[in-house]
């Protein structure tokens, strides 16, 4: 039986690994997590990640400098390994001595040793126990196990967070960070009960004041209800999309059996920027998690963190854990 630790504080293994107060991480998010969001989360006691996936390497360098200017607490960078800039991005991370890196969407073997040799703490995002074992073999310090509910690009297995976390916890001996569908303190408590020792949230932080997403995108997402997102684009790269103009285009093409080439052509270039960063709700790609249905206002990072911590404590008190 895994030892369960009901502590949302600096004594959780994940807090100790990263040197933070609360084992709460804001996931790297293309077009949402720039220096403002990353530094605000770190300042509030969590771990803020800069999402390098939507940045060219020199823009990333600027975000690293601005994050350091805003906080002296630990922060990290997320790099989707499928990015065409992955190699240069890793170089910048090493030059800038970024202390923590979360890799995703690719093979953890490629850069983990180089990062570890430079003293970087590395976590890798997985969607299955099989990938978690590979990440552990590659030498990462922790895995983020991200379930089907999550916003952004998703695993092909479609395993929900509730089923994924216990299975990953059983499969590896490194700490497991749960992700996908977590927007409340009670959800954090549930994840700890399943054996996770930290949580990564995307949706909740994408819809804060400090997120660099467009205001129209945030307002639209906080109005969403249950069932307003769906995993589409599965033949190319499964993506949880919000219902709307672009969603309809992809869904219609998939239903008539469009080829991978046609689907890629429909998506074209710059769709995600158009939707999430420029606020074109009709033509742009809009990505958010299922749990957007639980959020009904745009709050500050400080408010989100306080709600998570207080909600967690209330849950523990009520359950008398």
Ligand X SMILES: Cc1cc2nc3c(=O)[nH]c(=O)nc-3n(C[C@H](O)[C@H](O)[C@H](O)COP(=O)(O)O)c2cc1C
Restricted to residues 44-63, the positions that interact with ligand X (CB under 6 A) are 51, 53
What percent of the chain is helix, strand and coil (3-state, nearest 5)? Answer: 45, 15, 40
Minimum separation from the CB atom of position 248 to ligand X (A): 19
Among 20, 135, 206, 241, binds ligand X (CB under 6 A): 206
Minimum separation from the CB atom of position 32 to ligand X (A): 5
The answer to whether residue 305 forms part of the interface with ligand X (CB under 6 A) is no
C-alpha R_g of the chain: 18
Tell me the two tokens of residue 132: 């978690």
Name which of 61 and 258 has its Cβ closer to ligand X.
Answer: 61
Name 8's Cβ contacts closer than 8 Å, sequence gap at least 6.
Answer: 22, 23, 24, 185, 188, 192, 309, 312, 313
Name which of 27 and 34 has its Cβ closer to ligand X.
Answer: 27
The answer to whether residue 83 forms part of the interface with ligand X (CB under 6 A) is no
d(CA 197, CA 191): 8
Among 141, 146, 210, 280, binds ligand X (CB under 6 A): 146
d(CA 195, CA 175): 9
Q: What end-to-end distance do the CA atoms of the chain give, in Å?
A: 17
Name which of 143 and 182 has its Cβ closer to ligand X.
Answer: 182
Among 76, 152, 175, 311, binds ligand X (CB under 6 A): 152
> Which backbone phi and psi does 80 adopt, to 5 degrees?
-70, 120
The answer to whether residue 198 forms part of the interface with ligand X (CB under 6 A) is no
Residues in contact with ligand X by CB under 6 A are 27-30, 32, 51, 53, 78, 80, 104, 125, 146, 149-152, 179-182, 200-204, 206, 276, 287-289, 291
């Amino acid at each position: 039986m895994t030892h369960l630790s009901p502590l949302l504080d600096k004594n959780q293994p994940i807090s100790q690994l990263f040197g933070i107060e609360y084992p709460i991480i804001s996931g790297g998010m293309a077009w949402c997590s720039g220096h403002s969001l990353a530094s605000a989360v770190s300042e509030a006691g969590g771990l803020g990640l800069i999402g390098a996936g939507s940045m060219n390497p020199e823009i990333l360098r600027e975000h690293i400098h601005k994050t350091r200017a805003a906080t002296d607490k630990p922060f990290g960078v997320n790099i989707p390994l499928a990015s065409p800039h992955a190699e240069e991005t890793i170089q910048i991370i090493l030059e800038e001595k970024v202390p923590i890196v979360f890799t995703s969407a690719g093979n953890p073997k490629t850069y983990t040793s180089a990062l570890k040799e430079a003293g970087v703490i590395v976590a890798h995002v997985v969607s299955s126990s099989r990938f978690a074992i590979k990440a552990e073999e590659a030498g990462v310090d922790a895995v983020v196990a991200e379930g089907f509910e999550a916003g952004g690009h998703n695993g092909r297995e479609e395993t929900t967070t509730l089923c994924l976390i216990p299975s990953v916890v059983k499969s590896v001996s490194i700490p497991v960070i749960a992700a996908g569908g977590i927007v409340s303190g009670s959800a954090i408590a549930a994840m700890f009960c399943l054996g996770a020792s930290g949580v990564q949230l995307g949706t909740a932080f994408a819809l804060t004041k400090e997120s660099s997403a467009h205001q129209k995108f945030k307002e639209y997402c906080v109005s969403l209800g249950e069932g307003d997102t769906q995993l589409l684009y599965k033949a190319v790269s499964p993506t949880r999309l919000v219902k709307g103009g672009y969603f309809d285009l992809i869904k219609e093409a998939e239903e008539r059996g469009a080829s991978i080439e046609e689907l890629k052509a429909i998506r074209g270039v710059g769709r995600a920027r158009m939707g999430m960063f420029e606020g074109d709700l009709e033509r742009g790609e809009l990505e958010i998690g299922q749990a957007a249905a639980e959020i009904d206002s745009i709050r500050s990072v400080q408010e989100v963190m306080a709600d998570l911590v207080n909600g967690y404590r209330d849950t523990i008190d009520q359950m008398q854990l």
